[in-house]
């Protein structure tokens, strides 16, 4: 037999594209179109409906970047169409190649009811089924002219303040049309069979069977009358569509989804509208397809439509109650997990799950994070403590160096907690359920022979409208189809329960899920990252002092509502394209302003609580919000201003023959700064040990070209290290302060179009060299780092993460080690050899790298570098331009415990308030190994005190917590402050003491009921 396969396949493609698909809406009449351009920002729906519309027509250009145009379309159903299915086809000028990244619309009825969204693959509105002849059609469209910013080309359209006024779009079509059901069904038949056919091996008989069936169907199509011949053309396809799947075929749980970034290439306000459009589409689709199940994460997005679009939210609630609309995820937003602080991660679950419980009565079981840029090793414990059972992501499939070995596995965190985890092998969270994607999922699945199930999230994301009727048609045809994986539309929980039952002994992955891509997100948009770190620290302080005042100060009212509102604002900005610095300029401009407002409000809350505690008066009281005592001030308490806590600081010149400069010393630490302003010695006097590697200098600023292969704001590629410029020539080195309590040197430098002023300080009683760096940054596509070459033989580094730390290799023995050339750390990173180590602490930096080298003398230099600033040009062409103040410090002789303590001190500075009486801590713990992370009042407004603490050193700990108030009982809880199953019984002694035993990195949340204080209600 002659091989005519390519001819038939080409014929199928052309006939579908040019004749059959266009015939779905064959007969049409134009609608009358009118238009009103909203001035400035979007207006309320009522204002848009009541506006003064002017004439418009297909072909008109509309929409400057970020503008909103309202269209009023009207017409009548022709009498000849009576009894037919009629739809309005409203094409705003869509590019079908990029759903979610362009103009979008939301259709309303004249009474303001939202009907459905308009998107490239969803440009229709059903107006009659069956239609009545002469029936009037009147619809309104709120159209958003979101600019296309997905091209990775620097542009100023990413902010409405700098975007142009030129119209971006052209109305393509606004018609009434007959929806030809048989033609549409024929399209679905041919697309499913044609897509499956192309994925089967050329020698597979099933492929040829499908080819011949498609050929017979094409023969039956009358190209001059597609609608009239469509039903007959489907007949040759019925038999091959009915052929059942093999018993061993891969099983796919298809879950409707519409991954919507809470901000990215659009501002937060546009996401509110994207969510309304998508949810309107989803509930509209559910009305016609009761089998359709849709999963939506991010409580924040549902809270937005509850606030801004209550009529859409009411429809969502109906579908949640019906079991079709399924809340998942359990977090306030799909946050970054690398840089979010420990307590903030806990609050992501607290406020996310609490929203779903309060609004829908649903306790979500799956953590749904398909698109974050790597996953902290603290996550499994947090998942379990939130009351969740499963974890899902897809992003690790983006790793460039190593292919992750599992799709279904147990993920073990730093404390030993394991959570059942799935990576969809379809390798997308926006599947269209097409043949190519499903075949890829089945081929790619790594658990073959042991398990047989995977999950596929389907639907256009990022404002593309979510699932479509075409996708549901594919799912129906693929339920049990020979040659294809078996597809069932179902809830995520159905998949996880079946997958767990099938594969209970899945393999174990221990530690972080490091994404071998997007490492630049640890550094981009320094202002956003600094705002996050400071907000987290201030929230800790505000809750601590407010809880203390609520217990101790008569008449003080704990600011529950203010703190919850601020927490939710901070949690929103931890979304995985905001905190990582990968959003447009508009997003980060607003984020900086928001963080400034948060800081002002939190500082006012802190000051009010402290005034309530001290009562004012003569003298000064010093507050210590850190979890470790300092200068005689207890952790979580306050005391009158103490005297100097150590030997006086001395500052002496260095000999010119040695390179000039100065020596700073305080009896614990001696630091030598040469005439270049570089640290050539940092000597631990107690240990008799030099920290700086011989012949090298610390606090060395270095710049690298930073132009990744793609994804500017996201990526740092390893080849940046090939070229480096050391900034060693100073403009000046002077003494800025000289005193017994503190001595400070001032170093100034200029390079390129930028300048740096550094203050190097040593304090009495401190073993940290503090470096306060102010950079006026005006470079482009350049990376600024600061290096600390340390005389330490360390094969691994310890980097703080949420509720503990992770170890990473300093060598590159394997490709897995080599891929971690840029790593994330929170407040500190430490390297050590047995008996001695050193740490570098910081107040707002996350990106680091650690390398090792063996010197000629046989010693090893371990170099710790902080990534201070970047200057990518996409998606924000002005990333990081301007002034920045960054603080970091070197702690010679620091153990992990020292690093934990110094990191907290660095981020939680002392505060002063007028008064003279000390403030006793609300709670104390007698072991530095156990860190108090949060002290607050209970969410249920009962007045109970909630304390969250964790083991910080990586070993078992026994400790005693003592409450500074009468305690009736102590209960171990989960993150939602519910009694925790399996928690030990905590006994409270007569003097308010609770004995604790913690495993390495264990998180414990204690609810302390106050004696004499009534419970909630």
Residues noted as catalytic: 371
3-class SS at 280?
Answer: helix
Cα–Cα dist 993/991, whole Å: 6
Tell me the angle at which helices 181-199 and 205-220 cross, rounded to the nearest 10 degrees. 150
Question: Which residues have CB under 8 Å from 427's CB, separation 6+?
Answer: 394, 397, 440, 441, 444
Going by C-alpha positions, the residue among 541, 368, 550 that lies closest to residue 941 is 550
Secondary structure (3-state) at 679: strand
Q: In terms of C-beta density within 10 A (0-12 exposed, 13-18 middle, 19 or more buried), how is residue 19 classed? A: middle
Q: Are 293 and 326 in contact (CB under 8 A)?
A: yes
- Gap between the Cα atoms of 248 and 684, Å rounded: 66
CB atoms within 10 A of CB 636: 27
CA distance 396 to 509: 13
CA angle 996, 958, 951 (to 5 degrees): 85
871 secondary structure, DSSP code: -
| Cα separation, 387 vs 367, whole angstroms | 10
**DSSP-assigned beta bridge partners for residue 841:** 828, 889
The 8-class DSSP code of residue 122 comes to: B
CB atoms within 10 A of CB 44: 10
Give me the phi and psi of 566, to 5 degrees please: -70, -45
Positive or negative, the CA dihedral 460, 463, 466, 470 is negative
Contact 825, 340 (CB under 8 A): no
Closest to 254 (Cα-Cα) out of 504, 485, 528, 514 = 485
* Sign of the torsion angle spanned by Cα atoms 301, 306, 308, 314: positive
Sign of CA dihedral 682, 688, 691, 696: positive
Alpha-carbon gap, residue 740 to 431, rounded angstroms: 66
Handedness of CA 243, 249, 253, 258 (dihedral sign): negative
Considering only CA atoms, give the Rg of the chain.
31
Backbone angles phi, psi at 489, to 5 degrees: -80, 120
Residue 492: closest CA among 254, 695, 284, 665:
254
Can you list the positions of beta strands (E) in 203-299?
251-256, 294-296
CB 220 within 8 A of CB 235: yes
Q: Label the pairing between strands 86-91 and 390-392.
A: unpaired
User: 993 and 366 in contact (C-beta within 8 Å)?
Assistant: no
DSSP letter string, 696-716: --BSEEEEEE---SS-TTT--
Per the document, the length of the chain is 1017
Q: What are phi and psi of 960, to 5 degrees?
A: -120, 125
- Return the bridge partners of 446, or none: none
Numbers of helices and strands, H then E, in the chain: 18, 52
Q: In the sheet where 418-422 sits, what is the strand order?
A: 366-368, 390-392, 418-422, 408-412, 508-510
């Amino acid at each position: 037999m002659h091989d005519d396969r390519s001819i038939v396949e080409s014929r199928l493609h052309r006939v579908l594209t040019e004749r059959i698909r266009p015939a779905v809406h064959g007969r049409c009449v134009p609608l009358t179109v009118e238009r009103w351009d909203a001035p400035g920002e979007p207006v309320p729906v009522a204002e848009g409906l009541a506006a003064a519309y002017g004439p418009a027509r297909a072909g008109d250009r509309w929409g400057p970047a970020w503008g909103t145009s309202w269209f009023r379309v009207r017409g009548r159903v022709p009498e000849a169409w009576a009894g037919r299915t009629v739809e309005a086809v409203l094409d705003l000028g869509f590019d079908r190649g990029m759903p979610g990244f362009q103009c979008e619309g939301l259709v309303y009825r004249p009474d303001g009811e939202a009907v459905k969204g308009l998107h490239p693959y969803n440009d229709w509105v059903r107006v009659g089924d069956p239609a009545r002849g002469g029936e009037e059609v009147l619809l309104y469209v709120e159209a958003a002219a979101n600019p296309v910013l997905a091209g990775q080309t620097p542009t100023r359209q990413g902010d409405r303040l700098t975007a142009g006024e030129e119209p971006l779009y052209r109305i393509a079509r606004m018609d009434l049309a007959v929806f030809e059901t048989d033609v549409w069904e024929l399209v679905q038949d041919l697309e499913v069979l044609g897509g499956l056919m192309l994925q089967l091996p050329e020698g597979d008989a099933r492929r040829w069977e499908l080819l011949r069936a498609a050929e017979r169907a094409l023969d039956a199509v009358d190209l001059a009358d597609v609608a009239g011949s469509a039903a007959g053309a489907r007949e040759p396809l019925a038999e091959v569509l009915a052929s059942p799947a093999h018993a061993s075929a891969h099983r796919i749980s298809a879950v409707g989804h519409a991954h919507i970034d809470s901000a990215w290439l659009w501002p937060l306000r546009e996401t509110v509208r994207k969510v309304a459009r998508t949810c309107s589409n989803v509930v509209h689709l559910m009305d016609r397809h009761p089998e359709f199940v849709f999963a939506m994460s991010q409580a924040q997005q549902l809270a937005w439509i509850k606030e801004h679009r209550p009529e859409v939210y009411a429809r969502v609630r109906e579908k949640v109650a019906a079991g079709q609309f399924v809340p998942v995820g359990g977090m306030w937003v799909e946050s970054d997990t690398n840089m979010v602080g420990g307590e903030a991660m806990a609050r992501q679950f607290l406020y996310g799950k609490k929203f779903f419980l309060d609004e829908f009565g649903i306790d979500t079981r799956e953590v749904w994070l398909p698109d974050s840029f790597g996953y902290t090793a603290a996550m499994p414990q947090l998942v379990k403590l939130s009351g969740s059972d499963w974890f899902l992501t897809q992003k690790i499939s983006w790793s460039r160096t190593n292919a992750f070995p599992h799709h279904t596995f147990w993920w073990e965190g730093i404390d030993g907690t394991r959570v059942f985890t799935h990576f969809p092998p379809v390798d997308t969270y926006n599947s269209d359920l097409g043949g190519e994607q499903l075949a890829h999922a089945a081929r790619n699945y790594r658990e073959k022979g042991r398990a047989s199930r995977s999950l596929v999230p389907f639907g256009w994301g990022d404002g593309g409208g979510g699932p479509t009727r075409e996708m549901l048609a594919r799912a129906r045809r693929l339920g049990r189809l020979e040659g294809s994986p078996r597809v069932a539309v179902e809830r995520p929980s159905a998949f996880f329960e079946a997958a767990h039952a099938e594969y209970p002994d899945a393999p174990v992955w221990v530690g972080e899920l490091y994404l071998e891509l997007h490492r630049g997100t640890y550094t981009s948009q320094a202002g956003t990252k600094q705002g996050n770190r400071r907000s987290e620290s201030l929230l800790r302080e505000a809750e601590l002092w407010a809880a203390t005042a609520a217990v101790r100060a008569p008449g003080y009212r704990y600011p529950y509502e203010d703190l919850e509102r601020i927490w939710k604002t901070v949690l929103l900005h931890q979304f995985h394209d905001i905190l990582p610095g990968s959003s447009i300029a508009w997003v980060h401009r607003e984020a900086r302003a928001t963080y400034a407002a948060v800081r002002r409000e939190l500082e006012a809350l802190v000051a009010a609580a402290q005034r309530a505690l001290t009562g004012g008066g003569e003298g000064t009281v010093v507050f210590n919000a850190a979890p470790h005592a300092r200068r005689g001030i207890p952790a979580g308490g306050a005391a009158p201003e103490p005297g100097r806590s150590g030997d006086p600081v001395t500052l002496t010149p260095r000999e010119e023959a040695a390179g000039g400069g100065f020596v700073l010393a305080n009896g614990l630490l001696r630091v030598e700064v040469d005439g270049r302003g570089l640290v050539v010695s940092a000597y631990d006097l107690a240990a008799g040990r030099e920290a700086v590697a011989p012949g090298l200098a610390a606090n060395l600023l270095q710049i690298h070209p930073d132009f990744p292969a793609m994804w500017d704001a996201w990526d740092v590629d390893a080849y940046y290290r090939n070229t480096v410029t050391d900034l060693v020539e100073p403009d000046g080195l002077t003494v800025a302060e000289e005193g017994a309590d503190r001595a400070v040197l001032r170093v100034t430098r200029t390079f390129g179009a930028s300048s740096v002023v550094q203050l190097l300080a040593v304090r009495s009683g401190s073993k940290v060299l503090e470096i306060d760096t102010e950079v006026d940054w005006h470079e482009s596509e350049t990376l600024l780092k600061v290096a600390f070459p340390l005389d330490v033989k360390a094969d691994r580094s310890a980097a703080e993460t949420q509720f503990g730390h992770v170890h990473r290799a300093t060598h590159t023995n394997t490709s897995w080690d080599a891929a971690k050339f840029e790593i994330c750390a929170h407040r500190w990173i430490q390297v050590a050899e047995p008996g001695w180590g050193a740490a570098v602490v910081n107040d707002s930096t996350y990106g680091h790298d650690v390398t090792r080298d063996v010197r000629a003398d046989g010693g090893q230099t371990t170099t710790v570098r902080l990534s201070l600033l970047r200057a990518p040009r996409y998606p924000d062409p002005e990333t990081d331009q301007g002034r920045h103040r960054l603080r970091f410090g070197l702690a010679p002789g620091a153990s992990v415990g020292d690093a934990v303590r110094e990191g907290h001190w660095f981020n939680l500075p002392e505060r002063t308030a007028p008064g003279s009486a000390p403030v006793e801590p609300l709670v104390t713990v007698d072991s530095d190994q156990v860190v108090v992370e949060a002290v607050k009042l209970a969410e249920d407004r009962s007045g109970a005190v909630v304390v969250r603490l964790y083991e910080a050193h990586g070993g078992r700990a026994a400790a005693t917590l003592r409450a500074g108030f009468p305690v009736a009982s102590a209960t171990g809880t989960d993150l939602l402050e519910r009694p925790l199953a399996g928690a030990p019984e905590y006994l409270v002694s007569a003097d308010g003491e609770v004995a604790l035993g913690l495993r390495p990195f264990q998180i414990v949340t204690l609810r302390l009921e106050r004696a004499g204080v009534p419970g909630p209600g």
